[in-house]
Amino acid sequence: MILLRGIVVWLILIVAESINGAIRVFWLVPSLGNVRGHQIAFVIGSLLVLTIPIVFVPWLRASRLPQLISVGVLWLVLTVLFELMLGRLVFGYSWEQIAADYNIRQGGLMPFGLLLLTLSPLIAAKIRGVFPDRRRRAI
């Protein structure tokens, strides 16, 4: 049930990120240039990737570390598959064009975004107090 709920939250994430991508392509890059447009979209995307899980983590009902890690890995896998399918099948990008987003040396920020996405269930659970603190408190 947790993974099914994780897919629902991922769908919300991917819609929000797709809107962010459209804003980047149609407004930010033409107005600010490629590098600055990608940087601003990355910051906005990072905020989305943190905010949406913070809102939905109680609904996920994942409070144990393995559950939260599973949801994060699920989101990682679904996002990479989505990006590859969208890039190749919808936009017809070459593998080189797709790989450029993952190449940090060429300014690609995707690895950082994917790392944040993968950790976002843990971060959200910690922020919302869903993930129990293992340290014992002194009485």
Write the CB contacts of 9 (distance below 8 Å, at least 6 apart in sequence).
52, 53, 56, 59, 60, 71, 75
pLDDT at 68: 95
Residue 8 φ then ψ, to 5°: -60, -45
What whole-number distance in Å separates Cα of residue 122 and Cα of residue 132?
11
What are the mean pLDDT values of the chain's consecutive 10-residue runs (139 residues total)?
95 97 95 92 96 96 92 98 92 88 86 96 93 55
Is the distance from CB of 107 to CB of 35 less than 8 angstroms?
A: yes
pLDDT at 74: 98
pLDDT at 107: 81
Asked whether the whole model's pTM tops 0.95, one would answer no
Is the distance from CB of 113 to CB of 39 less than 8 angstroms?
A: no
pLDDT at 1: 86
